[in-house]
Amino acid sequence: MSRDITLSTTMKVSSIADCVWEIPPSEKPGMRVPARIYASEALIAQMDQGVFEQVTNVACLPGIVRAALCMPDGHWGYGFPIGGVAAFRTDNGIISPGGIGFDINCGMRLLRTRLGEDEVRPKLRELVAALFAAVPSGVGAKGFVHLSEAEFRRVMIEGAGWCIARGYGWPEDLDRMEGRGCLPGADPAHVSHRAVSRGSDQLGTLGSGNHYLEIQIVPPGGLHDPRAGKALGVDGPGQVLVMLHCGSRGFGHQIGTDYLRMFDQVMRRYGITVNDRELACAPFRSPEGQAYFAAMTAAANTAFANRQVITHRVREVFASVFGKDPRELGLSVIYDVCHNTAKVERHEVDGQLLELLVHRKGATRAFGPGAADVPEAYRGVGQPVVIGGSMETGSALLLGTAHAMVETFGSTAHGAGRTMSRAEAKRRVGGETLLRDMEARGIIVRAASKSGVAEEAGFAYKDLAAVVDVLERLDISRKVASFSPIGNIKG
């Protein structure tokens, strides 16, 4: 280490470059590659013991290449750390639900508007109340879209495109999504009836935990790169935007549960052992691995559809509150990006172009300028990266870089990252108190659960600016704009 820092591990952790820390394979039996943590000294010192244990456990999995990675927002998760990225050869590597998370394709969507803060403030309370009514949240919430099982299977295959075909959005929305809102390879035949019955009536719902729908503004000094901002539709201070954070809901959670349970049993047959049972996995090319990939992709596509239906509701609410057509209000999608997925991609490793299954768990794809899967409109600047902070302290819009492609398999952080347990956050502040305090600071919040609000207090998270600063120092993302919340709907 470059100087004395107390870390939550006894493993040898070496600084190998600015903001790059490495744990060599000699530190844990079975490590096939090193583990790499991207963080400043201050951020790595905040990381809990689970990060070091989990990232080194990932380094032991079959078929992993180069290194097991953890982004600067990393914290103790289950299986992979949150912020974990790992790439496995598709010919002899594995796929693991614990490297994706139960909330398959949990992700972020950012919408722009032509509205200014001065136009929205007078109607903010009405707007937040209407959004809270239109977008169900909290335990057991049901959506307004009622589907037969056969129709829901169409959603699994078509993703956001299913919504557009039925009037829940604009055709051009698809041009502003990772994979155009539909990942290839989904096969409903590998999805259980249980998953369908659990989640088919949840399209258009937020969920709870750290999921939210937020009205944001560009604060003074918040547009850091006006040229990129122009390309993405971020005009400057005072502009109002809308950010969504949610995923595949109960449908994806059940698919994760079904396959984790299956992999726990079949691993032995393939002679695979893992350090954490949550890393249960199967060879990617095995029948079980392929079945999970097909089901997981079906869940990813329903998550795109979920965010699309919510977008439709947001447009309806804005149109009603402001008495204007959503197109007149300029309510267009800037970008929709996943942060819990596994995708087949080609990356160069040791001078060889390999087909890899890149797991990102609480990590965002961050492809650089010129990448084929970046929308044409953005190909000159790079893929937008939407990073959610806490509901008190704001969020950020960044761009992927060419260096991310060689350093992190085209990946970056996904948020600020927690530093405190939910119970500790609730001890420090009550939900009602926090709501009053935020309102005094001009942030109106409506929530299904008051205790859930306290759990998501800003002080429970790392400093987002510090995380973004590391991403820039590493040149795996570059900053376009920062956003501040003025209204928030929570589960």
Partner 1 sequence: MGRYTFLEDVALADCAVEIEAKDPADLFETAAAALAALMVDPGTMRLSVERTITLTARELDLLLYDWLSELIYRKDRDREVFTRVAARVSGTGPFELTAQAHGGVIDPTVTALGADPKAVTFHQFAVTSAEGVWRARVVIDI
The residue ranges that bind partner 1 (CB under 8 A) are 48, 50, 75-79, 82, 98, 101-103, 138-140, 142, 194, 197-199, 202, 207-210, 249-250, 253-254, 256-257, 260-261, 264, 276-278, 280, 418-424, 448-452, 455, 491
Shortest approach of partner 1 to residue 219 CB, angstroms? 27
Task: Determine the residue type at 140.
Answer: G
Is 414 a residue of the active site? yes
Rounded distance between C-alpha atoms, residue 13 and residue 266, angstroms: 34
Residues 6+ apart with CB under 8 A from 295: 187, 190, 191, 195, 255, 258, 259
Strand (E) or helix (H) holding 84: strand 80-89
Q: What angle do CA 173, 177, 178 make, to 5 degrees?
A: 165
Closest approach of partner 1 to the CB of residue 78, in Å? 3
In angstroms, what is the minimal distance from the CB of 82 to partner 1?
6
Q: Provide the minimum distance between the beta carbon of 424 and partner 1 in the complex, in angstroms, as a whole number.
A: 6
Nearer to partner 1, 112 or 462 (CB): 462
Task: Provide, rounded to whole angstroms, the least separation between the CB of residue 145 and partner 1.
Answer: 16
> Judged by CB, which is closer to partner 1: 145, or 223?
145
Amino acid (one-letter) located at 451: S
Provide, rounded to whole angstroms, the least separation between the CB of residue 447 and partner 1: 9
Report the amino acid identity of residue 153. Answer: R
- Quickly list DSSP for 90-157: TTT-EE-GGGT-SSTT-EEEEEEEEEEHHHHGGGHHHHHHHHHHHS--STT---S----HHHHHHHHH
Q: Is the dihedral of CA 287, 289, 292, 296 positive or negative?
A: negative
**Max Cα–Cα distance, the chain, nearest Å:** 64
CB-nearer residue toward partner 1: 410 or 417: 417
Find tokens 């056969």 and name the residue: 150
* Six token digits for residue 290: 């392929």
State in angstroms the smallest separation of the CB of 382 from partner 1: 29
Q: What are phi and psi of 214, to 5 degrees?
A: -130, 140
DSSP string for 205-249: ---STT-EEEEEE--TT-BS-HHHHHHHT---TTEEEEEEEE--H
Closest alpha carbon to 306 in 478, 155, 115: 155
Torsion angle of the four alpha carbons 203, 208, 210, 215, in this order, in degrees rounded to the nearest 10: 60
Within 13 Å, how many C-alpha atoms sit on residue 153's CB side? 10
Catalytic residue among 253, 339, 359, 414: 414
Task: Using the minimum distance from each CB to partner 1, give the nearer residue, 208 or 302.
Answer: 208
Instruction: Provide the sign of the torsion angle of the four alpha carbons 213, 215, 221, 226, taken in this order.
Output: positive
Compare residues 55 and 356 and give the one whose CB is closer to partner 1: 55
Q: How far is the CB of 268 from partner 1 (least distance, A)?
A: 13
Beta carbons within 10 angstroms of residue 85's beta carbon: 30
Phi-psi label, residue 170: left if phi above 0, alpha if psi -120 to 50, beta otherwise: beta
Amino acid at site 13: V
Nearer to partner 1, 191 or 331 (CB): 191
**Nearest approach, Cβ of 201 to partner 1 (angstroms)?**
9
* Contact by Cβ (8 Å): 240, 113: yes
Helix (H) or strand (E) holding 465: helix 464-474
| Polymer length of the chain | 491
Helix (H) or strand (E) holding 251: helix 249-266
Active site residues: 414
